[in-house]
Structure 1
Amino acid sequence: MGLTWVALGMVQLVVMLCVSPGSLVVDAATEKIDAGGLINLSNREQTWAPYMTLSAPFSEIESITSHFLFRTYDPEGLVFYGDSNDGKDWFVLSLRGGIPEMQFGKSTMMVTVSGGPKLNNGVWHKLELYSEGEFVVLKVDNKPELRVGMHQDNPGPSREGFIRLALGGLLIDQKKLLIPINPLLDACIRDGHWLSLSTPWDITPKKKEMPCSPDIKPGSFFSGGGLVVFNTSAFAFDSLNEINITVLASSDKWNGTILSMWSYHTNSRIVSVGEDAENERLYFKVDVGDMAMTGYGDKDFKSFQMTIEKDSITIESRLQQHVTQRGRIPVNGILEQWKEGMPLSFGGLLGKGGDHDGSAYMGGCLDGIFIQGQQLDLDQAVFKDPSVSSHSCPV
Structure 2
Amino acid sequence: MAVLCKAVADGLLFSLSLALLGWGAEGQGNGRGMREVSGGSTVYLSQDRDIWRPLIHTTVNLSEVSSIKSSFQLRTFDPEGVIFYGDTKDGEDWFVLSLKDGIPLMQIKKEDMLVSVAGGPKLNDGKWHTLEVSNKGQFVILEVDGSSGLTVGLKSKLMEEDLSGKLRMALGGILINKNMMIVEFEPRMDGCVREGSWLNLSSPWETEAGELWPCHENIQPGSYFPGSGVAIFETSVFTLDEDGGVQIALAGDFSHMHGTIFSVKAPGRELTVALVANNNTKEVTLTLGEERISMKKTLQRLVLTIQPEWLRVVEEDPSGIESHAMPLRNPGVWSAWREGRLAIGSLLGEGDDNVGSHFLTGCLKEIQVQGKDLDLDLAITLKSVSSHSCPA
TM-score, normalising length from structure 2? 0.90
Separation in 2, partners of 1:28, 1:306: 50
- Equivalent positions of 1:1-395 (< 5 A) are 8-9=8-9, 11-16=11-16, 17-18=18-19, 24-27=25-28, 30-206=34-210, 209-237=212-240, 241-250=244-253, 252-264=255-267, 266-287=268-289, 292-320=290-318, 321-323=320-322, 328-332=327-331, 334-335=333-334, 337-339=336-338, 341-353=339-351, 355-385=353-383, 387-395=384-392
Shift in Å at residue 319 of structure 1?
Answer: 1.7
Question: Any conservation in 1 of the 2:20–2:171 contact (CA below 8 Å)?
Answer: no
In 2: Cα distance, 1:147 partner to 1:159 partner: 23
Task: State the Cα distance separating 1:350 from its structure 2 match.
Answer: 1.4
Alignment: residue pair count: 382
C-alpha spacing 1:128/1:350, structure 2 compared with 1 (3 Å): same
State the distance in 2 between where 1:108 and 1:336 align.
Answer: 54
- The alpha carbon displacement at 1:382 in A equals 0.8
> Aligned partners of 1:115 and 1:20: how far apart in 2?
22
Alignment partners' CA distance in 2, 1:209 and 1:356: 27
Q: Distance in 1 between matches of 2:66 and 2:47?
A: 30
The CA deviation string for residues 111-130 of structure 1, in whole angstroms up to 9 with x for no partner, is 11111111111100000111
Q: Does the 8 Å contact 2:111/2:158 carry over to 1?
A: no
Please give the alpha-carbon distance, in whole angstroms, between the structure 2 residues aligned to 1:19 and 1:172.
15
Residues 186 and 240 of structure 1, relative CA distance in 2, 3 Å threshold: farther
Pairwise CA distance, 1:10: 6.8
Tell me the amino acid that sits aligned with residue 340 of structure 2.
M
Deviation at residue 332 of structure 1 after TM alignment: 2.6
Give the aligned residue type for 2:278. D
How far apart are the structure 1 equivalents of 2:9 and 2:76? 31
Displacement of 1:199 after TM fit? Answer: 1.2
> Residues 105 and 285 (structure 1 numbering): CA distance in 2 closer, same or farther, change over 3 Å?
same
1: distance between equivalents of 2:22 and 2:306? 53
Q: Percent identity?
A: 35
1:348/1:61 CA distance change after superposition, 3 Å: same
Deviation of 1:346 (Å): 0.6
Comparing 22-31 with 130-139, greater Cα deviation is found at 22-31
In structure 2, how many angstroms separate the alpha carbons of the residues matched to 1:108 and 1:328? 65
Q: Which amino acid aligns with 1:274?
A: V
Task: Please state whether the residue corresponding to 2:328 is helix, strand or coil.
Answer: strand
Distance 1:217 1:56 in 2: 37
SS at match of 1:233: helix
**Could you report, residue by residue, the CA deviation over 1:149-207 in whole angstroms, capped at 9, with x for unpaired residues?**
2221121244211111111111111111101000111000000112322211111225x
Which residue does 2:3 correspond to in 1?
none
What letter corresponds to residue 24 of structure 1 in structure 2?
A
State the 4+ residue runs in structure 1 displaced beyond 6 angstroms: 19-22
Partner of 1:3: none
Distance change >3 Å, CA 302–CA 10, structure 1 → 2:
farther
The RMSD of aligned alpha carbons is 2.4
Structure 1 residues 42, 337: closer, same or farther in 2, change over 3 A?
same
Label 1:350 to 1:137 Cα distance change in 2 as closer, same or farther (>3 A).
Answer: same
The Cα of 1:28 is off from its aligned counterpart by: 5.3
Cα gap change, 1:328 to 1:392, in 2 (>3 Å): farther
The alpha-carbon distance between structure 1 residues 335 and 239, as it changes in their structure 2 partners (threshold 3 A), is: same
Q: Distance in 2 between matches of 1:361 and 1:325?
A: 28
Distance 2:23 2:208 in 1: 20
Q: What is the rounded CA distance, in whole Å, between the counterparts of 1:10 and 1:134 in structure 2?
A: 5
TM-fit CA distance, 1:353: 2.9
CA separation in 2, counterparts of 1:110 and 1:148?
Answer: 12
Please say if residues 20 and 170 of structure 2, whose CA atoms lie closer than 8 Å, have aligned partners that are also in contact.
no
